[in-house]
Chain A
Amino acid sequence: MTRSKEGIIQPAISRQPPAEMEDKVTDLSRLEQMVEERTAALNALNLKLIKEMTVRKRAEKALKATLADFRNVITRSADGVIITDREGRILMVNPAAEVLFHRKPGELTGTMFGFPLALERAAEIEIVDDSGVSAIVEMRTVATEWEGKNAYLATLRDITTRKQAEESLRQDETRLRLLLGQMPCLLWTTDTDLRHTSSSGAALADINLQPDQVVGMTMAEYLNTSDPQNVVIAAHRRALAGLPVTYEFFNPALGKTYLSHVEPLRSLEGEINGVIGVAFDITENKQAEARLLALSRRLVEVQENERHAIARELHDETGQSLAISKIMLDRAIKSLPETMTSGLREIQGILTQLIAQVREMSLNLRPSMLDDLGLLPTLLWHFERYTSRTGVQVNFTHDSLPAQLPMEIRTAAFRMVQEALNNVAKHAGVSSVDVRARVESGRLSLKVEDHGAGFDPAAVTPTSTGLNSMQERAYLLGGELMVDSSPGCGTCVTAELPLPELKGEHHGQETA
């Protein structure tokens, strides 16, 4: 600036002409002119100087404002900011950083930072306060200049909450994975091509698979099938179409039966992007069920056979012997004088009663005509007996009953009608009951209907009404028993029994 002033003045002095070389007037006017010129030059210079100084002041002001803004930003930043020199001495620290380090304002400035400063990557440091609570801080460091010297700028962000959330999520995932691994079933997901995207569950071990071992494999590859009608693949396709499906599946390669359920797997937007499935190994249940069914069937068979045998024994052996004794006694009485026969006639009466009792016992166990003559004659015989005992009239209709019915169907049908009629006599309080028997589309349908007291089927104990045994008989023959009743509205018991392919003619002779 000094130089510059001298520079401005210098040309004005150098342009001054020597006084002895001019006359006085000329000299004076020239002097005046010079003064004027110099004054003007000085004015111009001053003006220029003032302008220059204004610009500088403005620049200084702007700089000050920028600096203030910068400090303001740093001071108010939620992230901690620390500037250190190359040795790690703290040159500047913002309040957020002081809070992070649990220090008072100004306390850190001039101290050594203490944490290694790594450039170009984020580092995580742990800060423990006096009470032992730790915070995880993410630190990013860049090289910079501070007050003209090389320095480091470290920004610090408290990520404790984020870390905790991440940790909690990780724990949840581990727990979930453990849980899935413990579930006694197979769990899997597929994409829309039915390619496995995950597989888990404790049942994997039973089929020698590791979790996720089949990932990438399509369902067809996994099942080793090319059949598009395969029950599993068909179920998955329906799930992809949005329908949940429950199905039973026997895997012949594994010799196992599974009860499976598949559902569409949806994205957060609700779009179907795969299938989620779960399968339980029910092989043992199936086997137990089959054993139980076989046992039930055997039990019913044994009971019926036993009744049959006792009924036959009573009727054909005991009954025959009694009958023939009676005939012989009758003959003896005739050959004797009347005065000698009164005691014998008493025995004759006892024999007649005995014969009737034995016949009753036999018929109660099992009517022989069910074997000899078939269902229809047995039902007719039973209705007559039933009416004479209970006073309840039976309105019987029948339609298309084949004369030849398999023995187990005859027995079941007779027993179910017998049981239903017993219930009517015991509980309905009616004077008549409708019974219908007919064959329709390969099924024997039996209906026993009354308009009596009725009952609540849900509230009744099955054993007390014999409904249980009726249900069991129907079930064993692959049929079903339906009970429709409510208090005051009568009862309708319907049994449907599928008939095997009928042999021979309709209504042909049916004998044992």
Chain B
Amino acid sequence: MDKKQLNIVLADDHKIVRQGVRLLLESEPDFHIVGEAANGADATRLVEQLKPDVLVVDLKMPGLSGIDVAKRVAASSPNTRVIILSMYSSEAYVLAALEAGAKGYVLKESSSNELVQAIRHAISGRRYLSPPLSEQSIKTYQKKTSANHQDTLAR
């Protein structure tokens, strides 16, 4: 393998999810899980310390959410790509995640290779959204939130 090894940190408050995702990612020979965190604060600390290539983080965690973590990581470790793992397919969440600097938004229920694909997209500098989400649906949503709006909405 001439592929460069990718260091990944995994953050989810559900142990079973961490275990499943770890199994999934470890099947990729160049993916290397360097750390796991069960909450947002730990994840932020771990990323700051390890400066991994990728952070896979759950959207909803007690305390700091995945979106909060993404914002902090953007400042503390700008080279770390953040992939949000989520149960929610609403554009509102996706938009919030993208605005926080996430490079990928992957639904937990999606097929097993989507997360791998998302990580590879992110590394090559592209964004990845789980189907049925798309860049187009996000744009449409963005327009709707500012429609009939006198001021612009933050997100």
Q: Is B31 an interface residue (CB 8 A)?
A: no
**B-contact bits for A316-334, CB 8 A (1 contact / 0 none):** 1101111110111011001
Are B20 and A399 neighbours in the complex by a CB distance under 8 Å? no
A372 — which chain B residues lie within 8 A by C-beta? 60, 65, 93, 96
Known A355-B109, A400-B150; judge A327-B24 contact (CB<8 A): yes
A377 — which chain B residues lie within 8 A by C-beta? 90, 92, 145, 155
Are A331 and B23 neighbours in the complex by a CB distance under 8 Å? yes
B149 — which chain A residues lie within 8 A by C-beta? 398-399
A507 — which chain B residues lie within 8 A by C-beta? 151-154
Total interface residues on B, CB under 8 Å, equals: 37
Q: Is B111 an interface residue (CB 8 A)?
A: yes
Are B112 and A327 neighbours in the complex by a CB distance under 8 Å? yes
Q: For A316, A327, A359, A509, which residue has the most chain B Cβ atoms within 10 angstroms?
A: A327
**A-contact bits for B82-111, CB 8 A (1 contact / 0 none):** 000001101111001000000000011101
Are B109 and A323 neighbours in the complex by a CB distance under 8 Å? yes
Q: Which of A324, A368, A506, A509 contacts B151 (CB 8 A)?
A: A506
> 8 Å CB contacts to A: which residues of B16-40?
16-17, 19-21, 23-24, 27
Are A368 and B65 neighbours in the complex by a CB distance under 8 Å? no
Q: Is A180 an interface residue (CB 8 A)?
A: no
Are A509 and B111 neighbours in the complex by a CB distance under 8 Å? no
Q: For A319, A323, A507, A511, which residue has the most chain B Cβ atoms within 10 angstroms?
A: A323
Bound complex: CA of A511 vs CA of B93, how far in Å? 10
Are B27 and A331 neighbours in the complex by a CB distance under 8 Å? yes
Are A316 and B60 neighbours in the complex by a CB distance under 8 Å? yes
B107 — which chain A residues lie within 8 A by C-beta? 323
Q: For B21, B92, B147, which residue has the most chain A Cβ atoms within 10 angstroms?
A: B92
Q: Is A273 an interface residue (CB 8 A)?
A: no
Complex: chain A residue closest to B141, CB-CB: A380
Q: Is A352 an interface residue (CB 8 A)?
A: yes
**B-contact bits for A339-361, CB 8 A (1 contact / 0 none):** 00000000000001001000100
Are A331 and B90 neighbours in the complex by a CB distance under 8 Å? no
Are A509 and B20 neighbours in the complex by a CB distance under 8 Å? no
Q: Which of A317, A369, A398, A403 contacts B148 (CB 8 A)?
A: A398
A461 — which chain B residues lie within 8 A by C-beta? none
> 8 Å CB contacts to A: which residues of B111-155?
111-112, 141, 144-145, 147-155
Known A319-B87, A321-B16, A327-B112; judge A376-B153 contact (CB<8 A): yes
Q: Smallest distance from the beta carbon of A457 to chain B beta carbons, Å?
A: 29
Q: Which 3 A-B pairs have the closest CB atoms?
A: A377-B92, A323-B108, A324-B20
A interface list, Cβ under 8 A from B: 315-317, 319-324, 326-328, 330-331, 334, 352, 355, 359, 368-369, 372-373, 376-378, 380-381, 396-400, 403, 506-509, 511-512
Beyond A396-B148, A399-B149, A512-B65, 12 additional contacts (C-beta under 8 Å) are A320-B14, A320-B108, A323-B109, A324-B17, A324-B21, A327-B20, A377-B145, A381-B90, A396-B147, A397-B147, A398-B148, A511-B68
